[in-house]
Amino acid sequence: MEKQLILFLIVMLPVAGAFFLPVVGRFSEAVRNRLAFLLVAASFVLSLTLLPSVLNNQVITISQNLPLGFNFILTADALAVFMAMVSSFISAIIIVYSFTYISHYENRGEYYLMVVLFLGAMMGLVFSGSLILLYVFWEITGITSWRLIGFFREKQHVLRADKAFLMTVFGALLMLIGFIRLYVETGSFDLQVIKEAVKIHPLSGLTVALIMAGILSKSATLPLHTWLPDAGVAPSPVTALLHAAVLVKIGVYVFARLFVVTMPLDIPWMNVIAIIAAASALVSAGAALIDTDLKRIIAYSTISQIGFIFLGFTVSNEIGVAGSLLYILMHGLAKAGLFLCAGIIEQNTKTKDITKLGGLMYTMPVTALSFLFCSFSVMGIPPFGGFFAKYMVIAGTLQAGHLAIAFVFLFGAVLTILYLFRVFNMVFMGDVGSSSAKEGSPSMVFCVALFAVLSLLGGILISYPNNMIAIVIKQMITGSIPT
Amino acid sequence: MTENILIAMIVIPLIAGLLSLLLPKKGCGVFALLAAAVNFILAVSIFNKELNLTFPWAGFGMAFSLRLYQFSGFIMLAAAFFGLLISLYSLSFLKDKDYRRQFYAYLLISLSFVNGAVLANNLVVLLFFWEGLLVTLFGLIVIGGKQSFRTATKALVIVGLSDLCMMAGIALTGYLAGTLVISDIHLGLGSLGGLAFILMAIGAVSKAGAIPFHTWIPDAAVDAPLPFMALFPATLEKLLGIYLLARITLDMFKLDAGSPLSIVLMILGAITILIAVMMALVQKDYKKLLSYHAISQVGYMILGIGTCLPAGIAGGIFHMLNHAMYKCGLFLTGGAVEKSTGTTNLENLGGLRAKMPVTFICFFITAASISGVPPFNGFFSKELVYDAAMQRGWIFYLAAILGSFFTAASFLKLGHAAYFGKSRKENKDAKEVSVFMLIPMITLAAVCVIFGVFNYLPINNFIKPILGARAEGHNFTGSSVNMTLGIITVLVLLGAIIHHLMAAKIMGGGIKAAEHIHHAPVLSVVYRWAEKKYLDPYEVGVKFVKIISKLLWRIDRGIDWIYESLTPSAALFVSRTIRRMHTGYYAVYIAWSLVGALLIMLFIFR
């Protein structure tokens, strides 16, 4: 009973608490900021308390049937708790960074409301045991991110926000049709029921394709990816939140939840998705080498790395799937760090154009070093955490016998090194461009340095995340992954 | 308890490296020297021991597993030896440099990673430390100056690319063998096994600096601090690269003389020798000339190991050790000249023999060693390689001996230009460098002599045990030198001397002794291309990637056009069309309604 309460609170604290933030903000800004942090931190801490029991193979469920075949089901298994911990942890740091970043803009109340609500919806989505609940939370994340991308209210920004919203909702509606077809085919929205049902009746291809459209649009994967680079007009903590930690991981998480755990896809489907992921990784890496806008480049890099995560999930073997889970963690840490660095640079130099920047190594040493560390992690260079993720995904791919795809991704990894160093060299090395630039505020610099250090520690202390992932994998595999 | 010393080999230099970042600039050099000394003493103390250590690490078959045995102990000892000498040398060389704290930190961390990579008995642990060296490599080059980040990036991209190949090779090897434990892997060279071998070999030979993974080394010679050149391209990278190449050919895969891959390796070795030495011949900078030789000499090692004959493998590994000795020594003499005269441009040097006698003697010995002059150490390892190459085909021998001719020619040119001839006004104040810099140079020169005259010492103690069963019944020491080949070598060297003297006389001056080759027909065109970097695989590759990424960018923009332009205009078109239907005439609306009703009727009563 108590565990179920915790599970309920993880989701409901941020979702309900978010609406109090603007009210509190009327009285005291400082209290509101701290409350926002506490709500998100509470989600993280509460997820942490669930950890021991889920690692002991317990599954915590809240289930309430509603009329008309709907139901409210929250399920906490190892995969969900892992995902919840990763997202709430990164979000909590991003909120600390927001304190100074957002302090001199309008509409701060709305900002905190949307960010915390977003995180709450993410928690709800992660723990959803029912497709309809999952869809509801999915759309809440879409609406909040629409408000956040257009946060600065400029005409161009609002258009970009609309574009992101329309593209993801387009995918989501297709996914909803897929869910309804699934309901017709299996008679339930309950994932457990569906899991049993699809063992007898295999899924129809159209259903899979419809659901995939939603997943690809949310995870910004080719051909539904172009909203993500455009969304870079958002405030930097938001781009970090959207791109790195949470939003784009929704798609891959739901992919793992539905198509790896609940209803494993056939090999041909997996191969198609691997090819889509490969194309996505290459196209966006190429674009990252050409674009000159700092945030757009990092966004393209995210699209490219999401390809690696998809790849690991499609190979249907232990090491590949484990690699993808680790990738979610390591990429989240490193990419959040990169975006927050970009935020400091943007705020202090008033430009995002890398051709106009240069020499910031000498004026912003901590930011520069953090950027470098996070880049190393994204490139997959040891001793940084990204190394293990990349190795495991590639090893899984080779184990599955996809030689050609593995080499496409290796080429993608080379491009990753090239574009990240292109950015690093143009922004931080060479001649000092805008001389007045100085280091960001202490709390902002602390946050980026924290992400950099965590990326490094993630590699050195690899045994901790990987031990946990091993258990997650065991739970996912019992009765799920075809051998 | 004794197993923990393996952990200490990794942890002590690492922590010392991190600490030296925190120490004041004055003390960090001495501190680093002490740490390097501790590392060396530890390496000596565990040499020739066998230790195993395994504890769980990253899961999924990736246990943290270390294994000390003959070969790994030997490489670690050599690395610690050079690390110690170079930190002593840097004490004086980097005295006034702002970046010395970082230099020592990276040096010590590199030593830690080298120890880790060499001790690793799990492929992922190996890769972890091996690839981790990229970070210190980048750091060591980038501290060289404001513009050296370009070279640092180039190095990181080239080595990173080959490390990614190695990552794929390791993943494939682990999958084929069913284990990642190195000592349990014995694979055949089937189709996938062959691919795995090639991928691993790419990692190994590119770390050693073979063609076409070499082009960052001459650039680094200009941009990076000099002790870096003596430490990385001259020694540590050779030790690691050749160590791995020997491991994969000797025990992880069963490569034998009949395999086509053996021929591939030999061709790679021969090409590396020739191309790099031809480039070295025309250089006019002390350090750059040496850097091309650091590439060229790898060719001998790869050629030797590629022969898959006991003599060749022994020669290749022995040559690796010798090369580390004399090339490290040569770079250190280059550093002494730089410190003393402020330049390494040969056109501004001359007559240093009288002003820097000790440096000159060290240069003379190490240059004689690299040219393969008996009785210095380079002669004996080269003879082993020649012998094996001759057995596999005269063409390989020809490449090797031709390489020797040009090596000798380029060192005659270098020595003549820098140490003989007239003293220039630019370096009239040159004087001998401090004793901290002389000690490492003298040590290395002395070892070159000892390992040459008493070559049975290193061969019987270091090299032979590595080959294990393969070495049985073979004698690799000096007395086994094939007399015919030995005499040919001496004749070739004499030819090089005569060639140099005549060319210098005709062209006027030692530095111009290779100009006739530089400007020979056909060759001059190739040289011009090479100098414009048309032949640099990195530059070509980057251009290629630029084109590819422009194409990918177009695809991306094309997809975006669908959402940005096509969809809105389609929506506008549809809504405009529908709007036009709303004409405001009742009659039209009634007609539409009737048509609609008719369609519904048809649908229901069909």
A462–B58: do the CB atoms touch at under 8 Å? Answer: yes
The Cα–Cα gap between A29 and A39 comes to 15
The Cα–Cα gap between B509 and A207 comes to 82
Average pLDDT over residues A23-50: 88
Under the banding of pLDDT at 50, 70 and 90, the label for residue B349 is confident
B183/chain A closest Cα distance in angstroms: 20
- pLDDT tens digit sequence for B448-497: 999 888 888 888 888 888 887 777 777 888 777 778 888 888 888 888 88
* B550 contacts chain A (CB < 8 A): yes
A166-170, B197-201, B254-258: segment of lowest average pLDDT: B254-258
* B174 contacts chain A (CB < 8 A): yes
A72/chain B closest Cα distance in angstroms: 36
> Which of B113, B542, B563 to mutate: most A Cβ within 10 Å?
B563
Predicted confidence at residue A478, as pLDDT, reads 67
* B135 contacts chain A (CB < 8 A): yes
Average pLDDT over residues B571-582: 90
B128–A383: do the CB atoms touch at under 8 Å? Answer: yes
Q: Is the per-residue pLDDT at A209 higher than 80?
A: yes
Chain A residues in contact with B564 (beta carbon < 8 A): 163, 226
Q: Is the per-residue pLDDT at B600 higher than 90?
A: yes
Q: Which segments of B224-356 does DSSP mark as H helices, in order?
A: 226-231, 237-247, 260-281, 286-306, 310-341, 352-355
B167–A390: do the CB atoms touch at under 8 Å? Answer: yes
Share of chain A above pLDDT 90, in %: 23
**Nearest-CA residue of chain A relative to B175?**
A399
Q: Is the per-residue pLDDT at A227 higher than 60?
A: yes
Predicted confidence at residue B40, as pLDDT, reads 93
Predicted confidence at residue A244, as pLDDT, reads 65
**Nearest-CA residue of chain A relative to B163?**
A381
**What would you measure as the largest C-alpha separation in chain B, in angstroms?**
115
The Cα–Cα gap between A453 and A447 comes to 10
- pLDDT tens digit sequence for B563-576: 888 988 999 999 99
- Residue A323: partners with Cβ closer than 8 Å, 6 or more residues away: A312, A388, A389, A390, A391, A392, A393, A394, A395, A396
- pLDDT tens digit sequence for B174-214: 888 888 888 888 888 878 888 899 999 999 999 888 888 88
**Nearest-CA residue of chain B relative to A361?**
B146
A139/chain B closest Cα distance in angstroms: 20
Predicted confidence at residue B1, as pLDDT, reads 54
B135–A381: do the CB atoms touch at under 8 Å? Answer: yes
ipTM reported for the complex, 2 dp: 0.88
Average pLDDT over residues A232-237: 78
Average pLDDT over residues A401-417: 90
Positive or negative: CA dihedral B89, B91, B96, B98: positive
* B198 contacts chain A (CB < 8 A): no
Average pLDDT over residues A170-182: 91
Under the banding of pLDDT at 50, 70 and 90, the label for residue A483 is very low
**Nearest-CA residue of chain A relative to B143?**
A429
* A222 contacts chain B (CB < 8 A): yes
* A430 contacts chain B (CB < 8 A): yes
**Nearest-CA residue of chain B relative to A160?**
B564
Predicted confidence at residue B4, as pLDDT, reads 84
Enumerate long-range contacts of A103-107, CB under 8 Å, 24 or more apart: A105/A151, A105/A152, A105/A235, A107/A151
Chain B residues in contact with A469 (beta carbon < 8 A): 59
Q: Is the per-residue pLDDT at B363 higher than 80?
A: yes
Under the banding of pLDDT at 50, 70 and 90, the label for residue A242 is low
Listing DSSP states for A145-188 in one string gives HHHHHTTT--HHHHHHHHHHHHHHHHHHHHHHHHHHHHHHHHS-
Please give the helix or strand (H or E) that residue A118 lies within, else none: helix A108-127
* Neighbouring C-alpha atoms within 13 Å toward the C-beta of B520: 10
Residues in chain B: 606
Chain B residues in contact with A392 (beta carbon < 8 A): 60
Q: Are the beta carbons of B20 and B31 closer than 8 angstroms?
A: yes
B541/chain A closest Cα distance in angstroms: 11
Under the banding of pLDDT at 50, 70 and 90, the label for residue B251 is confident
The Cα–Cα gap between B217 and B291 comes to 6
Q: Is the per-residue pLDDT at A92 higher than 60?
A: yes
Is residue A189 classed as helix, strand or coil in its secondary structure? coil
The Cα–Cα gap between A178 and A206 comes to 8
B552–A283: do the CB atoms touch at under 8 Å? Answer: yes
Q: Is the per-residue pLDDT at B515 higher than 60?
A: yes
In this complex, the residue of B149, B157, B559 whose CB is nearest that of residue A429 is B149
A286–B551: do the CB atoms touch at under 8 Å? Answer: yes
Predicted confidence at residue A480, as pLDDT, reads 43
The Cα–Cα gap between B166 and B159 comes to 10
Predicted confidence at residue A430, as pLDDT, reads 75
The Cα–Cα gap between A14 and A248 comes to 20
- pLDDT tens digit sequence for A285-335: 999 998 888 888 988 999 999 999 999 988 888 888 999 999 999 998 998
> Which of B60, B106, B126 to mutate: most A Cβ within 10 Å?
B60
A347/chain B closest Cα distance in angstroms: 26
Mean predicted lDDT score pLDDT of chain B: 87
A381–B132: do the CB atoms touch at under 8 Å? Answer: yes
- pLDDT tens digit sequence for A346-385: 888 888 888 888 778 888 888 889 999 999 999 988 889 8
Question: What ranges make up the beta strands (E) of A365-427?
Answer: none
Place of tokens 């919203």: A165
Predicted confidence at residue A481, as pLDDT, reads 37
Chain B residues in contact with A227 (beta carbon < 8 A): 563
Q: Is the per-residue pLDDT at A243 higher than 70?
A: no
B168–A318: do the CB atoms touch at under 8 Å? Answer: no
The Cα–Cα gap between A7 and A53 comes to 12
* A471 contacts chain B (CB < 8 A): no
Predicted confidence at residue B109, as pLDDT, reads 93
Place of tokens 């996912």: A476
Closest C-alpha among B364, B378, B368, B376 to residue B333 = B364
In this complex, the residue of B56, B175, B548 whose CB is nearest that of residue A286 is B548
The Cα–Cα gap between A430 and A422 comes to 12
Here the tokens at position A23 are: 């009210």
In this complex, the residue of B56, B150, B563 whose CB is nearest that of residue A463 is B56
A223–B559: do the CB atoms touch at under 8 Å? Answer: yes
A392–B60: do the CB atoms touch at under 8 Å? Answer: yes
A318–B552: do the CB atoms touch at under 8 Å? Answer: no
Here the tokens at position A482 are: 């075809």
Q: Is the per-residue pLDDT at A482 higher than 80?
A: no
Predicted confidence at residue B570, as pLDDT, reads 93
Average pLDDT over residues B236-260: 86
Query: Which B residues 276-335 touch A at CB under 8 Å?
Result: none
Predicted confidence at residue A472, as pLDDT, reads 86
- pLDDT tens digit sequence for B120-130: 998 999 999 99
Mean predicted lDDT score pLDDT of chain A: 86
The Cα–Cα gap between A98 and A101 comes to 5
> Which of A221, A230, A290, A408 to mutate: most B Cβ within 10 Å?
A290
Average pLDDT over residues B493-511: 83
